[in-house]
Structure 1
């Protein structure tokens, strides 16, 4: 059995070698909370050992973030430093890779005026829109990993005290990311191949629509004519592979913006902007959210949906079997990076250009004409369960089973 330090080393190697896939002579930008300094030092060392020319760091801190939202004047949240946005864009245009280290506190902004959170989210999203476009069109290599903190760990394991909860969350992360295996890099190569085989089958079928049925869900999602199913591995404009999410269990594509109809119920809480949204449902007509309910976090959900016109529509549909390494833990992580990989999910907001045939080369107008949604935001929420059935509908109306009782049916 591997020790904690051995698993941590393997986890860092996965982030550098499989996630960001740092190349010889490349610059790596690591964005992380200051609480993750020890892990960032490990990542930095491995990046240089892999051949990085330079490793740059962007830091954040939950306490400082909370203080700002409590005490800063309202107008502070209406501006974003231009030099920070330009710095990101300049690095991206000079072939830098980006590694985002998350350390969630699902309740960080609990009690903060949702309007402040909405204003800040919109301001930041607007300022970083060009960078986000680079991410969502595979221009650059980027990846996301997570490290525990005590507040997050105690949310996941409320029955444990602080230190034990943190260790338990580390173990869950190592398991979910396959970092606790003897050769995780090779295990990831096999995992990528498995997911790619599912994407290949779905692409061969050329389904016109998907029909979802489960408790509280009866939803039809039409797909663009040029849709492409994507799995774990992406390829940047230089031809270099990378894995954007560690972990990942999904195969996904873009829905037709105006082709979503029916009602869908979330099956896991959504942590959004430091607040939890729980037991919520959305109703769609011709792609647009026309009604929504939430037992907790209604105002947060409202402000998410009202971010802009595009946040009233969807940008992603993802298939994840109920029996997966993350789902089988029966844990709710209160972190979308993990919870989305335990469940089928869809996303409010912007669609990925690379989910359309030829989409990476399309103009914004061409993407729109081909049915892709545009928005400042992209937020996944979880809808899968062991009771979910999904049919693929062919152009002639024939149905083929994709999921039965929450798992792959082919």
Structure 2
């Protein structure tokens, strides 16, 4: 009964805090078929919240793998137009999008990386218009995760499948604050705390951030007019939503051409059904000019070469080393969780909401403002317990932002 109660609270949290469904709104849920029991609860809460209609887009990883192994090469150079049209139509109608992300981290490890790269690029092109809605908060969207057998046994390989799933559920309930009596209220307080960090950074209006740890030594300038944002966002009607559950980050955008130095990953990155681990990126004038990886080097190279924008950064996010997620001491092999246990950057597109009047900047003028644009946006983790971050204001004042991995204020 306790598990069923928490599962129901989690579904309600996804609806009320994640996408925050309003009366008469459409919801599209994208989910693996294994997560159907959770999705059914989401549907119930969505209709109780006043949803006009809930559409479901099911996926199955075994079918995905069969496609990658046996379909002809040309299959991966195209993306179904009817899917992208559906997403855009729902966004234009003011609909919301909930994604249940529960990927097997090793799903495509035996697949030709070029096939994966080709489809990532094709889908990026096809979904560009829809992503313009999510990147600028023109529609409400959210991501949550549910244990599956493949994911749970990757995280907990030394126990039975059932025990691994139970342990992952316990961790998810803790990290998402579902273990509170009233998770919705707990998230209101959490969002308020994140907002106080956001307000501090916006008031300081730093020109430069310097990241220094045993493995990272990087200087990053921020564009003029940059804006720091935190967990809760607002749609065009001023309705709050949380794009990520969980979230512990305060984030903005680096200047596209003003990042210099070396950064080293501190957690594995799962990308395109493969794991990239123990990797470094070297930047000169914003561009990735060199990289290394102990695992997944070819996949990392394909990611960087997606397009011109994927050679630059689009996001900088500050996350304390001490957080509910980090305190579990679990490597989740799931970016939604791992990125919220660690400071992170993102290769690829910036969020238009992270710069003043971002929606009004024409594509041809993005470089002038230092805003990166790309077909992709992939977060990778760089935080550690020895990470120190110093902010430098336009007046030359130096402020300790992070000390030994945690907020210094």
Equivalences for 1:108-123 in 2 at 5 Å? 108-123=107-122
- Could you say what secondary structure the match of 1:276 adopts? strand
What does residue 287 of structure 2 align with?
288
Question: Post-superposition shift, 1:111?
Answer: 1.4
Question: Post-superposition shift, 1:148?
Answer: 0.6
What does residue 28 of structure 2 align with?
29
The TM-score with structure 1 as length reference comes to: 0.99
1:328 aligns with 2:296: no
Equivalences for 1:253-292 in 2 at 5 Å? 253-292=252-291
- Could you say what secondary structure the match of 2:179 adopts? coil
Equivalences for 1:172-321 in 2 at 5 Å? 172-321=171-320
1:259, 1:287 within 8 Å by CA — same for their partners in 2? yes
What does residue 152 of structure 2 align with?
153
Question: Post-superposition shift, 1:230?
Answer: 0.2
Question: Post-superposition shift, 1:369?
Answer: 2.3
| Alignment partners' CA distance in 2, 1:365 and 1:41 | 44
Question: Post-superposition shift, 1:213?
Answer: 0.3
| Alignment partners' CA distance in 1, 2:5 and 2:168 | 16
Question: Post-superposition shift, 1:361?
Answer: 3.2
Question: Post-superposition shift, 1:103?
Answer: 1.2
Deviating more after overlay: 154-163 vs 259-268: 154-163
| Alignment partners' CA distance in 2, 1:49 and 1:267 | 42
| Alignment partners' CA distance in 2, 1:366 and 1:265 | 31
| Alignment partners' CA distance in 1, 2:80 and 2:272 | 20
| Alignment partners' CA distance in 2, 1:333 and 1:131 | 28
Equivalences for 1:136-151 in 2 at 5 Å? 136-151=135-150
| Alignment partners' CA distance in 1, 2:371 and 2:61 | 35
Question: Post-superposition shift, 1:186?
Answer: 0.3
Count of matched residue pairs: 409
What does residue 134 of structure 1 align with?
133
| Alignment partners' CA distance in 2, 1:315 and 1:176 | 26
What does residue 57 of structure 1 align with?
56
- Could you say what secondary structure the match of 1:40 adopts? helix
**Structure 1: segments with no counterpart, 5+ residues:** none
| Alignment partners' CA distance in 2, 1:210 and 1:55 | 43
Deviating more after overlay: 368-377 vs 181-190: 368-377
RMSD: 0.8
Question: Post-superposition shift, 1:79?
Answer: 1.1
| Alignment partners' CA distance in 1, 2:113 and 2:196 | 42
What does residue 395 of structure 1 align with?
394
1:358 aligns with 2:326: no
What does residue 47 of structure 1 align with?
46
Question: Post-superposition shift, 1:398?
Answer: 2.4
Cα-to-partner distance string for 1:180-204 (whole Å, 9 max, x where unaligned): 1101000000000000000000000
| Alignment partners' CA distance in 1, 2:379 and 2:201 | 21
Cα-to-partner distance string for 1:355-410 (whole Å, 9 max, x where unaligned): 00111333223433211100000000000000000000112332110000000001
**Structure 2: segments with no counterpart, 5+ residues:** none
- Could you say what secondary structure the match of 2:347 adopts? strand
